[in-house]
Structure 1
Amino acid sequence: MDQLEFFDIPSPCIGVCQSGKNGYCSGCFRSREERLYWHQTSAYAKRVIIKACQRRKAISQRKNNSDSGQTIAKQTDLFDN
């Protein structure tokens, strides 16, 4: 049974509609089908797609950082002495 949704889940589109080399949008990281059928997709599926987009974005950022030779500094704990 689907969870009752009071508000529609907004599209993650940020207006950068360009297909990247893996076939995902360079702006929101959705596939062509995910973008095309967004308004016909259930709320549960939209949440799954958004989580997948977040994973794709993180992977892309890690790959871009490793390609450029940059390292990401880990934030230190404020309570460590």
Structure 2
Amino acid sequence: MEQLEFFTVPSPCVGVCSVDEKGYCNGCMRKREERFNWLEFTPAQQLHVIKLCKQRYRRKTLQGKKKPQITKEPVNPQQDLFGEN
């Protein structure tokens, strides 16, 4: 039995509408089908999509932390004024 929802589930859209190499939106991490069918989903389905988006976001940020830094030199020489010499 599905729980009654008294409030609508807000869309996770943040207005950054471009997709990454896997097809997920860079702003909300939804797949194309999830974005296009959002209004047709039940509240339970919408909450499930939001849960999936959070998992995708965490996975993506963890992958970004694993990448080694290529250079330790400051991009802007002005940053040397505040850095360690």
Counterpart for residue 60 of structure 2? 60
- Look up the match of 1:21: 21
| Pairwise CA distance, 1:55 | 0.3
SS of aligned partner of 1:44: helix
Partner of 1:18: helix, strand, or coil? coil
TM-score, scaled relative to structure 1: 0.81
Report % sequence identity. Answer: 41
TM-score (norm 2): 0.77
Q: Tell me which moved more, 59-68 or 10-19.
A: 59-68
State the 1:67 CA deviation.
1.4
Aligned-pair CA distance for 1:61:
0.2
Q: Distance in 1 between matches of 2:68 and 2:20?
A: 18
Structure 1 segments (4+ residues) deviating >4 Å = none
CA RMSD in angstroms comes to 0.9
Measure the CA separation in 2 of the matches of 1:31 and 1:7: 24
Structure 1 segments unaligned to the other structure (5+ residues): 70-81
Q: Which has the larger radius of gyration?
A: 2
